[in-house]
Structure 1
Amino acid sequence: MEYLLFIGITLATFITMEGVTWCTHKFVMHGFLWYLHEDHHQPRYQNILEKNDAFFVIFAIPSIALFYFGLEPVLNFKFFIGLGILLYGIAYFLVHDVLIHQRFKWFKNTKNKYLIGLRKAHKIHHKHLGKEHGECFGMLFVPKKYFSM
């Protein structure tokens, strides 16, 4: 029965990460750490890596720490919080960097309405080249209107 609790903790963390990502994107990336995120809003990448990629490392640190402390003295809930963060990070990479920005040409021709809606919402987010007047700060949960456009 304990495994159901751990699965629940992992799923709850994954879902919570969408809110954490929204807040971080709006108030940190478009706020005091704009200098790291700014190059991501430029029309095209000049390099394979952007300063914005530092956020992958920033989000990985708590996940790694939770894995470490979640193994001592025995496997505990911290490990599964770290797992939820890791799984969200993988989903973020696949959706944001692969599907939306096509930094890797793996899913170029999707016809899935949900994924097309995600792309549209993110395109609206990127129409603002500056940090002000942003919209659509989430990643997996976007307003319904982008699925019917």
Structure 2
Amino acid sequence: MRFLFWLSVVISGIVSIVGFALTKMTTSSFDPTGDNFVGGNGNPGLMFVMLPMLIILYFFFAMMFVFEKIHERFSVKRNLFQAFYSGVFVVILGITIYRIVSFRNEINPYFEYEVSYLNPFSNDLFFNFWTFMACLCVSGFCSFYLKKRI
């Protein structure tokens, strides 16, 4: 049973990383001169994250159990781990929100309508290595609240 769990964690982790990487690769960069303009209302980069969303959510949920096993091996106190996870999450969240808002304010003058936060040019701001790490920090923080049955 443990082998199947670890195999599922590895496979779902690979799917998650590939989904985030493909989203980054397929997000078109904003070009104000119009040479690289993406038309329409589609957002093709999101399909690599939205289609395997259940697998990605399973990965972050399963990582809570993995982090629980990792925490048992270290003699560091619980508060130190929680402070680390919370601190990294808050820093990444703050930087990400700043980047998203500043990017939106930067591209709005080039459109005759107001551009939303999630647009064909901003997928890589929402789904990148840093947001992946922030989700892992949430999983690590939540791993302390798993109840064991005896």
Q: Same fold (TM over 0.5)?
A: no
Taking structure 2 as the reference length, the TM-score comes to: 0.31
- Normalising by structure 1, what TM-score? 0.31
Q: Which structure: greater helix fraction?
A: 2
